[in-house]
Structure 1
Amino acid sequence: MRKHIVIMGMTILLWGLPLMGHAATFTDRSGHEIEIRSPFKRIISLYAAHTENLFALGLDEEIIGVTPYEVWPPEALKKPVFNYRKAPEKIIGARPDLVLIRPMIARAYPSFTEKLKQAGITVVSVQPVGIDDMYQYWRTLGILTGKEEEAEKMIFRFKKAIRTIRILSHTIPATRRKRVYFEAIHKKMKTFTPASMQLFTLTMAGGINIANDATSVRKSNIASYGKERILSLSDEIDVYLAQKGKMNRISPDLIRQEPGFQKIKAIKNGQLFIIDEHLVSRPTPRLIRGAVDIGHCLYPDIYTREIWQGIKRIMDNSRLSVAQSAYHKIYQE
């Protein structure tokens, strides 16, 4: 029996698909048909978010390689490193049965992925484009690895944590709601699109995106805004938030010293905060940590340590594997 599922932008439900003796096929984000006869057991992940999520699903020994850009969990840093920018022979020599990539890699390095396929390796391109897609993306990883039940549990815990955070944010009166400018790239004065994961975490925590009229750049989650428009809102920006990481290598001093920024209300009042890029940009369960961190910046009297302890208990699971236990150490910081 052969089952077929087409993923159109990662929006088709994939959960509940039995693999017991049946082949299943689906179309990945790059338009390639993928056949699954049994769970993949030797996986190389070439996108750090894939790696985080695979560990969150309870995988460890099955992950035989990762990218040079891993930051979490600690176990990922101990895995052999592979790079899609280099010749594929090293990957082929590791004998993976599955290589996970994202559409950008498929577009930019077509000969690389083609050589992997010619070597008999299944290459799957997946990446969500929003929060709803993220749930289907987690389910896809579950199906590929035989961890469908774990994927559903991960989604359930994530949604439960979201509900808890939203209940908290609903207690904040409209008169106390903070208007926030969320910086994506300082040098280019760019912010995020309203549908981005970064603004999902901000609004979940009770913040108001003051740059809601920003326009997307090349259909990405990055949006153009410009210094002139930022400064035109100087008196209205209660909090200036900036992500920091590979995309935006900044510091509080760099932002404060930007000509004209001394006029911004948030800068004058000491309401400038830096958020770890990895907590708000990657489609992983750690988005919950990002939302709580933002909440603490905006409303420290509401998003207290005690509140975080309660939320982390929701995200924790008493029946975790060794790999998952390591992954969840972040909730004990």
Structure 2
Amino acid sequence: MNIKRMSKLGVLICLLSFALYGQSAFAQMTEITDDEGSTIRFDKPFSRIISLYPAHTENLAFLGCDEEFIGIGRSDNYPASISDKNRFSYRDNTEKFLAARPDLILIRPMISRSVPELISKLRSAGITVVSLQPTNIDQMFDYWRLLGLLTGKTTEADKMVQQFTLALDQLEDSIPVPREERPRVYFEAIHSKMKTFAPDAISMFALETGGGLNIANDAVARNNSNIAPYGKERILAKANEIDIYLSQTGRMNRVSLTDIYNEPGFQLIKALQTNSVFLVDEELVSRPTMRLLTGISKIQSALYPVLRREQPDVASHEPLFTPQTQLQKWQ
């Protein structure tokens, strides 16, 4: 996949203003369409934001937002600078949101499906609600730029894209073998349900740019998800071909190395026989944030011993790329 090939916008961005100058005021009106087809019009950046998805929170912090946050999700844990923000959940009542007086609430489609009545009430009360969640890498840059539009940080969003692309090139250049010699990897998404990722999922982009070959490239996602059922029989059918067994770990997949090694039948898998089973934090490989670079680096460390920077089977939140260090580079 060529990250430098810009996709058509995953969300329709139609600028009705004459120009946007960095963080300056909008000339007239900006119109966008979010990932659920809702049209949003605004004539100035939003400044009282509640983010209900950790990726939104992380990306906005990376863009330099701080005082703009009046609330974040209960599970949002990165970066440390947002730890003192007021906490919200999509299961909170309408009154809690109204009392905070936000001008923008950022959600993702799953929230709309879970609490449609809440979203309807918030919009009826005059609060702008925008639903975003890129599902593959081709949509990620457009998503970052859209967050820049909403907050008036368009220059920072462009620099974010540039910095990601530059760092990605450096990571790809460090892969020590040609493609035909790269290890074949089964990348587990949910152990208990024997699920992997769709071939075009962000996690699979991390695997492939990290130097691995997806052995489950015939997986098919269901229900508009990036997660794809694979089944133990299909995994074991490729047991002799799986050089590396990689699994995300976190809230979605609470799994340990012991769980994988003790799974009945898995002793037939080549990767288990050679002790080539590794865990990587799901926050680093499943979210459309700059820390995806850290996830790719950790995958490289697991696949290629010569590149190992730390024990790759220990899931870690420690990033190689932080909002603070990147902003310093931009200044």
Shared topology, TM-score over 0.5? yes
Q: Give the aligned length.
A: 309
CA distance in structure 1 between the partners assigned to 2:126 and 2:231 by the alignment: 48
Question: How far 1:16 sits from its partner (Å)?
Answer: 9.7
CA gap 1:266/1:51 in 2 versus in 1, 3 angstroms: same
2:230 to 216, 225, 232: 225
Q: What residue identity is the alignment partner of 1:10?
A: V
Question: How far 1:69 sits from its partner (Å)?
Answer: 1.2
1:10 aligns with 2:4: no
TM-score, normalization by structure 1: 0.87
Question: How far 1:17 sits from its partner (Å)?
Answer: 5.3
1:297 to 283, 302, 311: 302
1:240 aligned residue: 245
CA gap 1:17/1:84 in 2 versus in 1, 3 angstroms: farther
CA gap 1:257/1:213 in 2 versus in 1, 3 angstroms: same
Q: What residue identity is the alignment partner of 1:259?
A: P
Question: How far 1:26 sits from its partner (Å)?
Answer: 1.6
Question: How far 1:299 sits from its partner (Å)?
Answer: 0.6
1:106 aligns with 2:112: yes
Question: How far 1:9 sits from its partner (Å)?
Answer: 3.6
CA distance in structure 2 between the partners assigned to 1:148 and 1:254 by the alignment: 45
1:188 to 190, 193, 197: 193
* Greater Cα offset, 25-34 or 155-164: 25-34
1:316 aligns with 2:326: yes
Q: What residue identity is the alignment partner of 2:178?
A: P
2:292 to 246, 270, 287: 287
Contact kept, 8 Å, 2:13 with 2:31, in 1: the verdict is no
CA gap 1:20/1:10 in 2 versus in 1, 3 angstroms: closer
Contact kept, 8 Å, 2:59 with 2:144, in 1: the verdict is yes
1:132 aligns with 2:165: no
Secondary structure (helix, strand or coil) at the match of 1:242 reads: strand
* Greater Cα offset, 105-114 or 144-153: 105-114
Task: Flag structure 1 segments of 5+ consecutive residues without an equivalent.
Answer: 1-6, 306-310, 322-333
1:172 aligns with 2:177: yes
CA distance in structure 2 between the partners assigned to 1:195 and 1:46 by the alignment: 25
Task: Flag structure 2 segments of 5+ consecutive residues without an equivalent.
Answer: 1-7, 311-319
Contact kept, 8 Å, 2:35 with 2:131, in 1: the verdict is yes
* Greater Cα offset, 22-31 or 186-195: 22-31
Question: How far 1:241 sits from its partner (Å)?
Answer: 0.3
Contact kept, 8 Å, 2:9 with 2:142, in 1: the verdict is no
CA distance in structure 1 between the partners assigned to 2:229 and 2:42 by the alignment: 41
2:207 aligned residue: 202
* Greater Cα offset, 67-76 or 274-283: 67-76
TM-score, normalization by structure 2: 0.88
RMSD: 2.3
Question: How far 1:217 sits from its partner (Å)?
Answer: 1.6
CA distance in structure 2 between the partners assigned to 1:304 and 1:100 by the alignment: 36
CA distance in structure 2 between the partners assigned to 1:57 and 1:175 by the alignment: 38
CA distance in structure 1 between the partners assigned to 2:26 and 2:163 by the alignment: 26
CA distance in structure 2 between the partners assigned to 1:73 and 1:183 by the alignment: 26
CA gap 1:52/1:221 in 2 versus in 1, 3 angstroms: same
CA distance in structure 2 between the partners assigned to 1:312 and 1:31 by the alignment: 33
Question: How far 1:303 sits from its partner (Å)?
Answer: 5.1
Q: What residue identity is the alignment partner of 1:270?
A: N
CA distance in structure 1 between the partners assigned to 2:156 and 2:18 by the alignment: 12
User: What does the per-residue CA deviation read over 1:34-71, in whole Å, with 9 as the maximum and x for residues that have no partner?
Assistant: 11110111000011100000000000111010111112
CA gap 1:37/1:256 in 2 versus in 1, 3 angstroms: same
**1:17-32 matched pairs, under 5 angstroms:** 18=20, 19-32=25-38
1:46 aligns with 2:29: no
CA gap 1:239/1:16 in 2 versus in 1, 3 angstroms: farther
CA distance in structure 2 between the partners assigned to 1:126 and 1:160 by the alignment: 25
Secondary structure (helix, strand or coil) at the match of 1:194 reads: coil
1:80 aligns with 2:81: no
